[in-house]
Amino acid sequence: VPPTCDWRNLDGVISSVKKQESCNCCWAMAAAGNIEALWGIRYHQSVELSVQELLDCGRCGDGCRGGFVWDAFMTVLNNSGLASEKDYPFQGKAKPHRCLAKKHKRAAWIQDFIMLQDNEQKIAWHLATEGPITVTINMKLLKQYKKGVIKATPTSCDPLLVDHCVLLVGFGKTEAEVDRRAGAAASQPYPRRSIPFWILKNSWGAEWGEKGYFRLYRGNNTCGITKYPLTARVDRPVKKRRVSCPP
């Protein structure tokens, strides 16, 4: 596993940060972002895919009342692909019985989808060698988050109560004083420690967090990040070609 990985540094892979507005569609935005990224990496084509089709055509009715990433991937398989955002744009509300998939060309499609092991090392390896992954986390600490690396404990962020889907796009490491609060007060420089982190794309607009992104500590299953790591696969299962994530 390379020391750092950030798919945002490769053109055509990560699309712009979306904003759910008052529609509970993090699951659809994360799934669409995952397929966009894999399509960009594999076919070097930048696509922006229709979240609205996932909301209108899913098997669970009103997609704005929440959902699951695996249902989004099932919808893409059932419809033999997904329309572009341009053809089938996001409306901020679902029309469950008005699926227009058949009216629009498929802009991208998937072979299947998989859930990865609940192991941060293996998730990092897949992220670096295959591409971004959707994850589901406990969003409790995100409401007031502004920047930096969130490092929580199971008490401050229960890893079993996962309720928000986001897209894992990279990882890295930063430095910080051993105790940043003491460090701030002390005159002499405090010993420093390195903090490994995940980079995640949220769907609450670019004015939230670090331009729509946030970072979670990597290595202690902060906020349940390892519980549901799912990704589509756009490649036919042939001999693996290696891709490498830009540093």
Partner 1 sequence: GSLRSQDPGPQPLELKQVFTLFQIQYNRSYSNPEEYARRLDIFARNLAQAQQLEEEDLGTAEFGVTPFSDLTEEEFGRLYGRRRMDGEAPNVGREVGSEEWEES
Chain residues 66-85 in contact with partner 1, contact rule CB under 8 A: 66-68, 70
Decide: 84 and 180 in contact? Cβ < 8 Å: no
Distance CA 227, CA 216 (A): 14
Residue 205 is a binding residue for partner 1 (CB under 8 A): yes
Strand, helix or coil at 186? Answer: coil
Assess 156 for contact with partner 1 (CB under 8 A).
yes
Indicate the residue among 125 and 145 with the shorter CB distance to partner 1.
145
Least distance CB 46 / partner 1 (angstroms): 28
Angle value at C-alpha 166, between 165 and 172, nearest 5 degrees: 140
> In terms of Cα–Cα distance, which of 41, 52, 43 is closest to 14?
41
Q: How far is the CB of 190 from partner 1 (least distance, A)?
A: 13
- Output b/e per residue, 52-79; b: 16+ Cβ within 10 A: bbbbbbbeeebbbeebbbebbbbbbeeb
Active site residue 34: no
202 belongs to the catalytic site = yes
Give CA–CA dist 10/20, Å, rounded.
Answer: 25
Q: Are 34 and 232 in contact (CB under 8 A)?
A: yes
Is the sign of the CA dihedral 217, 219, 221, 227 positive or negative?
Answer: positive
Q: Does 160 bind partner 1 (CB under 8 A)?
A: yes
* Total chain residues near partner 1 (CB under 8 A): 47
* Among 90, 171, 204, 213, interactor with partner 1 by CB under 8 A: 204
CB of 62 to partner 1, least distance (A): 10
Tell me whether residue 59 or residue 86 sits nearer to partner 1 (CB atom). 59
Q: Which of 25, 26, 57, 64 is catalytic?
A: 26
Catalytic option among 202, 221, 223, 245: 202
Fill in the DSSP letter of residue 157. Answer: S
Set 164, 221, 223, 245: catalytic member? 164
- The residues binding partner 1 (CB under 8 A) are 20, 22, 24, 26-27, 60, 65-68, 70, 136, 139, 141, 143-153, 156, 160-165, 174, 176, 180-181, 184, 195, 197, 204-205, 207-209, 215, 217, 227
The residues assigned a catalytic role are 26, 164, 202
